[in-house]
């Protein structure tokens, strides 16, 4: 029905599969070994897809704004934001700007991901529960996953909150809620130099505190090749080891710098008579970029993407962020870090870092030490960092970036805990100083530290932020007998948030009541119902109770509320809590990880800690004591002897439910213990080599399916990559030899000719062929291609997000003679292109004489465009003559 076509180069290693080895330690952690960095990147992608298929596919859909297809009705709010923010388009832009070496390295990782998803990814049970199948990753997908994961990391929606507070309570009230009181960020990191370390080499330790997810947000991994050998914590879906790594001679770690690097602009918007949109800027009314995606209008002004409001309201708010402006996500730092041998190498690598902005600690075996900030922070008016600023005033424009980034000397000990220190000039709100002070105090208690000693710091539960509330409790008099007894218990409490402590629970219950009572105070009434007025994705930043909870320390010490009123609130809270039955903190404070598909039958354990403890297990007082944030990993890097290093994640190395390594690290994590880092390959278990595993013959191996969709009245359609070396070619040769397939252009070719053509196509990164099966029976051949790499690009203006497609329907078989079959088939393929691959527009160019094909695409929603003449080309395996074709498009 339609013709194949294409020209481009491609990378093929060992028959399309990179040569590498996979080893596992006792905890299932993958240790990967390969002959070069490219094959190793492929191996990392492959193992990530095998271990974390559901997780990384969820992240891919979130980046594309199609997560509702997997997660259901709860996802459209995020999906709308992802599309409005143009996350996928920004990822493509950043990928195009990569240097050739980094782009090839990322591409090798993506090839490995796709191999793993095809081979074993569909074994993850969540796909069956969601009625979905793994899709295909594009070369730029890792950049999109990174951007999607971190786009809200710097908390730009807080500017909406500050705007509302200033407007409703006055500018002086903004500081009441500053997160230099309690906040949700809790990452810790510390460095002890060689003079204080027992082995004579520096120690770096810490624990990133993030949203706890099942599976976890960090992936323990070892990457070894002749160039480098690095153990560390990777982000699933991202190549390399960017955050926490030990390369033998040098090690590094990061925390969130709490820098402000994203801005919100208040825009004036209007529609034009021609259907466009204009935005009012410093130079007057200027045209904005406008496009539509599945009912979502995407508007981008000269400042940024509009994420709130629009021209129908006459105004909106746009988001400006460095990745979109500068086309750089800092991926060039990732391969450079793997090759680092010294602190100077790490320093140079982090010069290429973009976002999120981090504080970095590093040390090497020669005694080198590093403490710096890394990332991209724009230079602009101080007001930009505080609130939403008017788009039409020139003073709020960006004026380059901060260079050089701040750094500090290391004198024996260095600590980073999101506090206002080395990164102070780059931000507005930071975490309170309690954790940083406590870590430093603990480090100074000993003259010498061993790697195994660091658990004392990781698990410290002292809650310094309890002081203001307990000071009010101490002033209470005239209480009821029950409340007086509670007062005495609180004043004799050791201020440690231990799971087994009844007094810690009593404090938490009083604290929650204080939060709720303050939230009902008339002073804050104007802020009580802000959230519903904003898009769903921003509402957590605009809810009053969490803001009171995180700002409680400031609110209890501020004169904005009269002292007598603060005392009355605490009195009422203690009286209310006095009647509660005794429970332990652990009965209230339990782990509550985020799951894309929640399992209601799982009983999660009790936790030590609280959000201002070094063991920062965060809840939201006043709403819930369940902990959604905590140590997403713990690590100790020993520069004297890498095998003395330690690490742990909350659940396990595998993201596959039922796997032996899905949650086997949880007991250690709860106790504050760490698993050993094993680097001797002779002590590891070698898995079957990937090239050996792929030689197993199967008509349709489990996990080979790239996309699956059930259609009522027909059955289940499955797309799998065409195997040019197997029986697929016999099926395809029979089809293309028939007179009905004359427009496909292969009539008269022998099986070896057809095999050669598709073997060549399989070697390309830009062209892909799939055999479509209906309930196991082959029914069609489907091909995709990048239009800019095809001769069609000479005949029309290619747009970002275009995907070219060809379709050959097989002879009528089961379902093939049923009315509406071909329309159903095309519908499945459209869904795969737009939802599965996240493209914006599909392009077809059937032979203009092929009336049936043209009519089918028209019935299926494609809009016919001009007839075009495709020029003749010569490929290594086939000659494609000049062709007159009917161009047609399918838009979101």
pLDDT in tens, 422-435: 999 999 999 999 99
Mean pLDDT of 572-591: 97
Is 688's pLDDT higher than 90? no
Strands (E), 649-689: 675-676, 685-686
Mean pLDDT of 479-498: 98
Mean pLDDT of 337-351: 98
Does residue 353 contact residue 340 with C-beta atoms inside 8 Å?
Answer: no
Q: What is the pLDDT of residue 74?
A: 63
Is 874's pLDDT higher than 80? no
- Predicted TM-score (pTM) of the model is 0.79
Three-state DSSP state, 551: coil
Closest listed residue to residue 664, CA positions, set 215, 43, 149: 215
Domain range list for the chain: 20-151+183-261+325-458+631-686, 178-182+459-630, 263-320, 705-891
Q: What is the pLDDT of residue 723?
A: 87
d(CA 892, CA 747): 35
Q: What are the pLDDT digits (tens) for 358-412? A: 999 999 999 999 999 999 999 999 999 999 999 999 999 999 999 999 999 999 9
CATH class of 263-320: mainly beta
- Evaluate the CA torsion angle 95, 99, 103, 106 in order and state its sign: negative
What the block records as the tokens of 58 is: 């969820």
Does residue 804 contact residue 794 with C-beta atoms inside 8 Å?
Answer: no
Range with lowest mean pLDDT among 76-80, 154-158, 620-624, 727-731: 727-731
d(CA 854, CA 864): 8
**Residue 465 backbone dihedrals phi, psi, to 5 degrees:** -75, -5
Q: What are the pLDDT digits (tens) for 5-45? A: 322 222 223 335 568 999 999 999 999 999 999 999 999 99
Q: What are the pLDDT digits (tens) for 536-551? A: 999 999 999 999 999 9
Q: What are the pLDDT digits (tens) for 268-300? A: 999 999 889 999 999 999 999 999 877 799 999
Q: What are 809's strand-pairing partners?
A: 780
Across 510-524, 728-742, 760-774, the highest mean pLDDT is recorded for 510-524
Range with lowest mean pLDDT among 214-223, 395-404, 411-420, 744-753: 744-753
How far from the centroid of its chain's Cα atoms is residue 822's Cα? Answer: 37
Q: What is the pLDDT of residue 186?
A: 76
Closest listed residue to residue 398, CA positions, set 307, 325, 327, 328: 325
Token pair 């509550």 in the structure block, residue: 592
Q: What is the pLDDT of residue 534?
A: 96
Is 666's pLDDT higher than 90? yes
The answer to whether the 263-320 and 705-891 domains have the same CATH topology is no
Q: What is the pLDDT of residue 818?
A: 65
pLDDT band with cut points at 50, 70 and 90 for residue 699: very low
Q: What is the pLDDT of residue 880?
A: 59
Mean pLDDT of 224-241: 98
Closest listed residue to residue 256, CA positions, set 166, 332, 356: 356
Q: Which is it for strands 802-809 and 841-844: parallel, antiparallel or unpaired?
A: parallel
Contacting residues for 38 by C-beta, under 8 A, at least 6 apart: 13, 18, 104, 105, 108
Q: What is the pLDDT of residue 697?
A: 30
Q: What is the pLDDT of residue 17?
A: 59
Whole-angstrom CA distances from 308 to 20, 160, 295, 733 are: 47, 11, 15, 53
Three-state DSSP state, 590: strand
Q: What are 264's strand-pairing partners?
A: 319
Q: What are the pLDDT digits (tens) for 295-326? A: 799 999 999 999 999 999 999 999 999 999 99
Is 123's pLDDT higher than 80? no
Mean pLDDT of 519-548: 95
Q: Can you give the length of the chain in residues?
A: 892
pLDDT band with cut points at 50, 70 and 90 for residue 691: very low
Cβ neighbours around 412 below 10 Å, total = 13
The residue among 714 and 629 whose pLDDT is bigger is: 629
Closest listed residue to residue 700, CA positions, set 677, 722, 669: 722
Does residue 219 contact residue 231 with C-beta atoms inside 8 Å?
Answer: no
Q: What is the pLDDT of residue 15?
A: 39
Closest listed residue to residue 629, CA positions, set 293, 310, 294, 208: 208
Q: What is the pLDDT of residue 881?
A: 64
Q: What is the pLDDT of residue 176?
A: 85
Q: What are the pLDDT digits (tens) for 450-472? A: 999 999 999 999 999 999 999 99
Cβ neighbours around 62 below 10 Å, total = 22
The residue among 723 and 673 whose pLDDT is bigger is: 673
Q: What is the pLDDT of residue 232?
A: 98
Q: What is the pLDDT of residue 179?
A: 59
Q: What is the pLDDT of residue 9?
A: 23
Q: What is the pLDDT of residue 748?
A: 78
Q: Fold for domain 178-182+459-630?
A: 1.10.1400
Question: Would you say domain 20-151+183-261+325-458+631-686 falls under CATH 2.60.120.260?
Answer: no
**Percent of the chain at pLDDT exceeding 90:** 71
Range with lowest mean pLDDT among 156-170, 350-364, 852-866: 852-866
Q: Which is it for strands 863-870 and 883-891: parallel, antiparallel or unpaired?
A: antiparallel
d(CA 95, CA 189): 31
Mean pLDDT of 164-169: 96
- What is the chain's mean pLDDT, rounded? 90
Does residue 131 contact residue 494 with C-beta atoms inside 8 Å?
Answer: no
Q: What is the pLDDT of residue 815?
A: 39
Q: What is the pLDDT of residue 774?
A: 86
Sheet of 219-225: strand order equals: 369-374, 358-364, 250-256, 244-246, 228-234, 219-225, 30-34, 20-24, 685-686
The residue among 876 and 398 whose pLDDT is bigger is: 398
**Residue 780 backbone dihedrals phi, psi, to 5 degrees:** -165, 160
Token pair 């009422």 in the structure block, residue: 572
DSSP run (H or E) holding 569: helix 563-577
The residue among 334 and 275 whose pLDDT is bigger is: 334
The alpha-carbon radius of gyration of the chain (Å, integer) is 29
**Residue 575 backbone dihedrals phi, psi, to 5 degrees:** -65, -40
**Which CATH superfamily is 705-891 part of?**
Gcn5-related N-acetyltransferase (GNAT) (3.40.630.30)
Cβ neighbours around 440 below 10 Å, total = 15
d(CA 653, CA 646): 15
Q: Tell me what percent of the chain is helix, strand and coil, each rounded to the nearest 5.
A: 35, 25, 40
pLDDT band with cut points at 50, 70 and 90 for residue 873: low
Q: What is the pLDDT of residue 761?
A: 86
Sheet of 705-711: strand order equals: 705-711, 715-721, 767-774, 777-785, 802-809, 841-844, 883-891, 863-870
Is 813's pLDDT higher than 50? no
Cβ neighbours around 418 below 10 Å, total = 28
Concatenating the DSSP letter of every residue in 193-256 gives -TTTBTTSS-EEEEE-EEE-BSS-S-EEEEEEETTEEEEEEEPTTS-S--SEEE-SSEEEEEEE
Does residue 620 contact residue 211 with C-beta atoms inside 8 Å?
Answer: no
Does residue 306 contact residue 269 with C-beta atoms inside 8 Å?
Answer: yes
**Residue 830 backbone dihedrals phi, psi, to 5 degrees:** -65, -45
d(CA 397, CA 388): 13
Mean pLDDT of 473-480: 98
d(CA 418, CA 167): 29
Cis peptide before 215 (omega within 30 of 0): yes
Mean pLDDT of 134-153: 96
């Amino acid at each position: 029905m339609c013709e194949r076509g294409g020209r481009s180069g491609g990378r093929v290693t060992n028959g399309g599969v990179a040569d590498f080895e996979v080893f596992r330690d006792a905890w299932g952690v993958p240790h990967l070994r390969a002959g070069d960095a490219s094959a190793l990147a492929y191996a990392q992608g492959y193992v990530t897809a095998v271990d974390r298929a559901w997780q990384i596919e969820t992240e891919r859909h979130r980046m594309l704004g199609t997560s509702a297809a997997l997660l259901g009705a709860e996802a459209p709010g995020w999906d709308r934001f992802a599309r409005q923010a143009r996350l996928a388009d920004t990822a493509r832009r950043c990928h195009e700007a990569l240097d050739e070496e980094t782009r090839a390295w990322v591409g090798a990782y993506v090839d490995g991901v796709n191999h793993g998803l095809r081979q074993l990814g569909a074994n993850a049970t969540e796909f069956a529960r969601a009625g979905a199948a793994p899709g295909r990753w594009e070369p730029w997908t890792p950049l999109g996953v990174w951007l999607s994961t971190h786009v809200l990391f710097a908390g730009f929606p807080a500017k909406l909150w500050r705007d509302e507070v200033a407007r409703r309570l006055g500018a002086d009230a903004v500081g009441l809620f500053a997160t230099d009181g309690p906040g949700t960020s809790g990452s810790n990191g510390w460095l002890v130099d060689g003079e204080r370390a027992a082995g004579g080499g520096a120690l770096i330790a810490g624990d990133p505190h993030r949203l706890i997810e099942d599976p976890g947000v960090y992936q323990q991994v070892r990457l070894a090749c002749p160039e480098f050998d690095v153990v560390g914590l990777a982000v699933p879906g991202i190549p390399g080891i960017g955050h926490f790594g030990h390369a033998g001679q040098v090690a590094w770690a990061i925390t969130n710098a709490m820098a402000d690097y994203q801005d919100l602009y208040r825009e004036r918007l209007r529609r034009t008579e021609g259907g466009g949109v204009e935005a009012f800027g410093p130079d007057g009314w200027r045209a904005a970029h406008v496009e539509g995606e599945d009912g979502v209008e995407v508007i981008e002004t000269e400042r940024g993407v509009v994420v709130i409001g629009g021209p129908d309201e006459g105004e909106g708010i746009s988001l400006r962020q460095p990745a979109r402006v500068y086309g750089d996500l800092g991926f060039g730092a990732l391969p450079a870090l793997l090759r680092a041998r010294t602190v100077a190498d790490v320093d140079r690598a982090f010069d290429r870092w973009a976002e999120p902005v981090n504080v970095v600690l590093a040390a090497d075996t020669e005694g080198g030490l590093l403490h710096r900030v890394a990332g991209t922070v724009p230079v602009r008016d101080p007001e930009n960092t505080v609130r939403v600023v008017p788009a039409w005033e020139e003073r709020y424009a960006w004026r380059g970036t901060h260079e050089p980034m701040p750094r500090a000397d290391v004198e024996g000990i260095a600590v980073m805990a999101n506090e206002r220190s080395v990164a102070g000039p780059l931000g507005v709100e930071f975490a309170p100083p309690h954790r940083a002070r406590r870590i430093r105090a603990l480090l100074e208690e000993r003259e010498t530290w061993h790697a195994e000693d660091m658990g004392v710091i990781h698990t410290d539960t002292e809650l310094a932020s309890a002081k203001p509330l307990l000071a009010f409790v101490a002033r209470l008099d005239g209480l009821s007998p029950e409340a007086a007894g509670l007062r005495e218990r609180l004043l004799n409490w050791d201020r440690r948030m231990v799971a087994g402590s009844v007094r810690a629970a009593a404090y938490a219950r009083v604290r929650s009541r204080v939060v709720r009572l303050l939230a009902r105070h008339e002073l804050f009434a104007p802020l009580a119902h802000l959230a519903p007025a904003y898009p769903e994705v921003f509402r957590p930043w605009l809810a009053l109770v969490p803001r009171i909870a995180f700002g409680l320390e400031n609110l209890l010490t501020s004169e904005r509320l009269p002292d007598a009123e603060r005392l009355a609130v605490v009195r009422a809270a203690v009286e209310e809590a006095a009647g509660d039955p005794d429970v332990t903190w652990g009965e209230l404070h339990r782990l509550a990880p985020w799951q894309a598909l929640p399992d209601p039958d799982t009983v999660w354990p009790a936790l030590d800690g609280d959000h201002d403890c070094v063991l920062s297990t965060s809840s939201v007082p006043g709403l819930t004591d369940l902990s959604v944030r905590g140590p997403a990993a713990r690590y100790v890097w020993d520069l004297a002897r890498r095998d003395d290093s330690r690490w742990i994640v909350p659940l396990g190395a595998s993201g596959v439910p039922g796997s032996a390594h899905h949650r086997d690290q949880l007991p250690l994590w709860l106790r504050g213990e760490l698993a050993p880092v094993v680097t001797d390959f002779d002590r590891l278990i070698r898995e079957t080599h990937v090239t050996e595993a792929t030689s197993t013959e199967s008509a349709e191996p489990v996990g080979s399916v790239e996309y699956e969709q059930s259609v009522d009245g027909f059955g289940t359609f499955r797309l799998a990559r065409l195997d040019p070396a197997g029986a697929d070619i016999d099926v395809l040769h029979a089809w293309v030899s028939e007179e009905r397939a004359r427009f496909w252009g292969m009539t008269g070719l022998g099986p070896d000719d057809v095999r050669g053509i598709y073997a060549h196509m399989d070697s390309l990164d830009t062209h892909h062929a799939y055999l479509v099966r209906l309930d196991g029976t082959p029914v069609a051949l489907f091909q995709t291609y990048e239009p800019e790499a095809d001769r069609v690009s000479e005949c029309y203006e290619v747009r970002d997000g275009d995907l070219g497609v060809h379709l050959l329907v097989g002879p009528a078989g089961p379902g093939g003679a049923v009315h509406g079959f071909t329309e159903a088939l095309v519908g499945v393929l459209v869904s795969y292109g737009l939802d599965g691959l996240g493209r914006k527009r599909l392009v077809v160019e059937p032979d203009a004489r092929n009336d049936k094909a043209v009519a089918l695409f028209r019935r299926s929603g494609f809009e016919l465009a001009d007839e075009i003449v495709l020029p003749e080309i010569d490929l290594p395996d086939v000659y494609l003559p000049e062709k007159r074709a009917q161009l047609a498009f399918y838009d979101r």
